[in-house]
């Protein structure tokens, strides 16, 4: 059974929230992805994974809207970026409404790294303000991990993103326009630089990474592999989600024990 807030009637929504108390939101971006992938790649990928996660948790799936914070692609045709304030206001408003509806746990399933700082800021603010728990899932990084052994790489417009779009709608993948795999000198190092969690730098325009705005090996993605994309990545998310919730539980029980 799928509990999509937009599809349900009002009484159905009330029932679904009362039962699960959990909302799953997909968060992505509309931005250029080279000549071969749709501008909505990140949003479609987030939605695929979020739906699976919501189903697995029996939670309410809450559409967020397709846009994200992506100044790095601004000015490249097909890109529409939100300002950080707009994104944060939108996420705050949606989650606040859901808290009012009775949601206690939020799982934010994101596929766009430009959203991360804003997501984290809103999640910590709202968790501080309300009796609600937020968990962030960076589905693109989970995908990078689960496909690494099979040679899958998370690059902008590369193998893993092409795989996600084959899973979403193969008609939107113009593989023949991608040409050969591209790997501009230094691109991998630049990606590693900005994605480190220790010492890292920034990229403010995608052309710093690759002249034509994307790189990687779209040919790695096959339709056969795409069949299980959503469930494989969602499994990776759910496994770690369990670890996060268990950690919180252990600590909560310990504190409750101390209070007695
Ligand atoms: Zn992308």
User: 93 CA to middle of ligand 1, Å?
Assistant: 25
Q: Which of 178, 186, 183, 181 is nearest to 203 (CA)?
A: 186
User: 42 CA to middle of ligand 1, Å?
Assistant: 5
User: 37 CA to middle of ligand 1, Å?
Assistant: 9
User: 29 CA to middle of ligand 1, Å?
Assistant: 8
User: 207 CA to middle of ligand 1, Å?
Assistant: 15
Q: How far apart are the first and last CA of the chain?
A: 40
Query: In tens digits, what is the pLDDT along the chain, a chain of 260 residues?
Result: 689 999 999 999 999 999 999 999 999 999 999 999 999 999 999 999 999 999 999 999 999 999 999 999 999 999 999 999 999 999 999 999 999 999 999 999 999 999 999 999 999 999 999 999 999 999 999 999 999 999 999 999 999 999 999 999 999 999 889 877 788 999 999 999 999 999 999 999 999 999 989 999 999 999 999 999 999 999 999 999 999 988 888 878 888 887 66
State whether the Cα torsion 52-54-58-61 is positive or negative. Answer: negative
Q: Is the pTM here over 0.75, yes or no? A: yes
Q: What b/e sequence results for 176-204 when a residue is b if at least 16 CB atoms lie within 10 Å of its CB, and e otherwise?
A: eebeeebeeeebeebbeeeeeeeeeeeee
């Amino acid at each position: 059974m799928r509990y999509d807030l937009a599809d349900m009637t009002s009484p159905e929504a009330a029932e679904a929230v009362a039962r699960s108390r959990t909302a799953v939101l997909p968060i992505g971006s509309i931005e250029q992805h080279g000549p071969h992938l749709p501008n909505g790649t990140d949003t479609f990928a987030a939605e695929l994974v979020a739906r699976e996660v919501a189903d697995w948790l029996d939670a309410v799936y809450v559409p967020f809207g397709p846009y994200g914070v992506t100044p790095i692609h601004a000015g490249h045709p097909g890109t529409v970026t939100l300002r950080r304030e707009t994104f944060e206001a939108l996420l705050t408003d949606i989650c606040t409404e859901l808290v009012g509806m009775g949601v206690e746990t939020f799982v934010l399933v994101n596929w766009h790294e430009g959203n991360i700082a804003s997501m984290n800021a809103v999640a910590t603010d709202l968790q501080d303000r309300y009796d609600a728990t937020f968990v962030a899932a960076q589905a693109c990084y989970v995908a990078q991990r689960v496909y690494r052994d099979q040679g899958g790489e998370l690059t902008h417009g590369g193998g893993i993103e092409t795989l996600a779009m084959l899973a979403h709608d193969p008609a939107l993948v113009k593989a023949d326009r991608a040409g050969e795999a591209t790997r501009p000198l230094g691109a991998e190092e630049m990606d590693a630089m900005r994605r480190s969690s220790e010492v890292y730098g920034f990229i403010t325009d995608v052309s710093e990474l690759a002249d034509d705005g994307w790189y990687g090996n779209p040919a790695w993605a096959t339709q056969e592999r795409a069949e299980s994309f959503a469930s494989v990545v969602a499994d990776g998310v759910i496994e770690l989600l369990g670890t996060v919730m268990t950690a919180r539980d252990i600590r909560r029980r310990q504190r409750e024990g101390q209070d007695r």
